[in-house]
Amino acid sequence: MDARLDFGQTPTAEHGDVVRMVMAGLQLSAVFAGLSDIRLQEVADKVVQRQVEDGDVLCHQDDTAHTVWLVLDGWVKLTRETLDGSEAVWDVLGQGHIVGLETLTEPYRYTTRAVAAGDGCVFAIPHSILRKMVDSEPRFTKALLQNALRQQQDERLDMEHRTQQTAPQRIGCFLLRLAGTPDGGTIDMQLPFDKGLVAARLGMQPETFSRALAKLRAESGMEMTGSHVRMDVGRMSAYVCGACSGVYPCRGC
């Protein structure tokens, strides 16, 4: 399953190609984008690329961490077990997002379980190289700080939404953020993962999701067949953002 990049085992030319590819992959995250080539290569040397299949577990909650992961392709869901054995989904991370950065501090333990949602590809990045970078490259630490602060803001927004938006609005907001383009007009797109996971990500039951979807269709004119979505951005945001835009325009709303 793991595939150590075969540095030194292949001709130099190819080696260079691989390194360049890994470096490009790392730069998907703003955290690494600011590093100098030399530093970036230093990280790239320690990176292990890994293909993951649906359900593969990257890490377990409360385990001591030695690795973080950068999502290259596919989705990784962060979950926590509830006492009754069911799982609560914290977040679903896509390309360019990093799993497990919270382990750079004190308890050095993963606060969630990370599971592949569908097949995908990730970089495994050893803790050791990150700590080395933190200790020797202030710019990197700054980037991590910015990353953490930005993430914090996103999570606060999420929290606000959970308390202030109704279920249909939360779904609408999710779709708007997915769309990304605030230019208005009717757009088509695909749900990135199945409805059950979307529901969990939004903190609601599948049944609630289904019903809320029906209501959202009625209220906003959105259409959804299977994983295909068509909606009018303007109309959708009019329906959704009344509950929050006055406060803090979400990205994508």
Partner DNA sequence: CGAGGTGTTGAAAGTGCTCAAATGGCGTGG
Partner DNA sequence: CCACGCCATTTGAGCACTTTCAACACCTCG
Tell me the closest approach of the beta carbon of residue 47 to its own copies, in angstroms: 21
Q: Which stretch binds DNA (CB under 7 A): 13-21, 27-35, 43-51, 212-220?
A: 212-220
* Token couple for 115: 């599971």
Closest CA to 248 of 171, 161, 172: 161
Largest CA distance in the chain: 61
Left (φ > 0), alpha (ψ -120 to 50) or beta: where does 135 sit? alpha
Q: Which of 159, 214, 218, 247 binds DNA (CB under 7 A)?
A: 214
User: CA 140, 19, 72, 102 torsion: positive or negative?
Assistant: negative
- 152 part of the interface to its own copies, by CB under 8 A: yes
* 148, interface contact from DNA, its own copies, none, CB < 5-8 Å by kind: its own copies
- 118 part of the interface to DNA, by CB under 7 A: no
Q: Which of 56, 160, 219, 232 binds its own copies (CB under 8 A)?
A: 160
Backbone angles phi, psi at 192, to 5 degrees: -75, -25
* 188, interface contact from DNA, its own copies, none, CB < 5-8 Å by kind: none
Closest CA to 70 of 126, 124, 120: 124
Q: Which is nearer to DNA, 120 or 168 (CB)?
A: 168
* 167, interface contact from DNA, its own copies, none, CB < 5-8 Å by kind: DNA
Q: Which is nearer to its own copies, 5 or 143 (CB)?
A: 143
**Would you call 196 helix, strand, or coil by DSSP?**
helix
CA distance 195 to 201: 10
Q: Which stretch binds its own copies (CB under 8 A): 39-47, 78-86, 212-220, 224-232?
A: 78-86
| The pairing of beta strand 2-3 with beta strand 48-52 | antiparallel
- 22 part of the interface to its own copies, by CB under 8 A: no
CA distance 175 to 158: 14
* 160, interface contact from its own copies, DNA, none, CB < 5-8 Å by kind: its own copies
Query: Which residues are near DNA by CB under 7 A?
Result: 166-168, 194-196, 203-214, 224, 227
